[in-house]
Structure 1
Amino acid sequence: MSRLEGRTDRGSRTIAATPEDVYAALVEGERLEAWLPPEGMTGRLEHFDPRPGGGFRMVLTYLDPTDAPGKTSDAQDVVDVEFADLVPGETVVQRAVFDSEDPAYAGTMTMTWSLAPVDDGTEVVVTATDVPSGIDQAVHEIGIASSLANLAAYLERP
């Protein structure tokens, strides 16, 4: 399968929290680990360095890998993420590389998290560019929406 250069996947959601609170959830390891894994997965950080040029390694494990084989192994996706840019309360830019021997998952995907204040909280827009061709677009956008729902639930809890 060939890589689709320039493919972009997106998701967005308004979250009842300040841009500063959303930003903190994106750059604090324990918080990120709590909400980032999409539905049907658990996540574990192997390391976390929240600064430009730093990053993290996350191991995502499928609760049921039967219908969704992982990129790294049958049950897991392992991703190395570099923080390319951090603008407090506004933007987090991540460069993600999947640990996979399958060339369909090769390359660096850029994930940009844009935060904008709105009347009822923060509009969070996620834009994924240069998405590897092995990642189904519809499934990826469902995963982005799931992570955004998790983020909202995490930040909006009483």
Structure 2
Amino acid sequence: MSVTRLRHHVKAPRARVYRALLDAHAIATWRVPPGMSSQVHVFEAREGGAIRVSLTYDAPGPAGKTTAHTDTYQGRFVKLVPDEQVVESIAFETDDPAMRGEMTLTLTLRDAPTGGTELLAVHEGLPSGVRPEDNAEGWRLSLDRLAALVEAG
């Protein structure tokens, strides 16, 4: 199991960034890489609340982890610290042993010295079938979308 660790500067206040981490409509917009669409099935933004999201490739070709072209993950919110941290425990819905396993996603927010918010995203417990560099690139693209969303207000 491996770890992805990314820092991202967002030109928006922590409270606005935090809200986008816990809003199902925002999640469907930013937490999906380019070339995929998102469907949020369940998103109970409270400690212990359930999460279930599907990401589907827009074009045929890439293989999904759950179905032919879809990656579905489910889990729960482990810890919520308002305007500071969101911790999720998630797992892919899959029959592939290389893609199984519980992952922990920790998103920590701090005031950036130059203004705005510094976001640290730590994705631990990646299954052996997920290349860390692919996971990091997907997160970089998603965090760019998050920044664009919250910076626009």
> What TM-score comes out, normalization by structure 2 length?
0.95
Equivalence map 1:1-158=2 (5 Å):
4=1, 7-66=2-61, 68-118=62-112, 119-157=114-152
Alpha-carbon distance, 1:65 to partner: 4.1
Measure, in 1, the Cα distance between the counterparts of 2:15 and 2:121: 16
Alpha-carbon distance, 1:89 to partner: 0.6
Measure, in 2, the Cα distance between the counterparts of 1:57 and 1:75: 17
Alpha-carbon distance, 1:81 to partner: 2.6
Q: Matched residue of 1:74: which SS?
A: coil
Measure, in 2, the Cα distance between the counterparts of 1:25 and 1:65: 30
* 4+ long deviations beyond 4 Å: none
Count of residue pairs brought into register by the alignment: 152
AA aligned to 1:157 is A
> What TM-score comes out, normalization by structure 1 length?
0.92
For structure 1, list consecutive stretches of 5 or more residues without a partner in the other structure. none
CA RMSD of aligned residues (A): 1.1
Q: Matched residue of 1:73: which SS?
A: coil
Measure, in 1, the Cα distance between the counterparts of 2:93 and 2:35: 20
AA aligned to 1:62 is Y
Q: Deviations over 1:48-84 (max 9, x none)?
A: 2110000321010011241x31100121000003100
Q: Which moved more, 1:26-35 or 1:87-96?
A: 26-35
Measure, in 2, the Cα distance between the counterparts of 1:40 and 1:70: 13
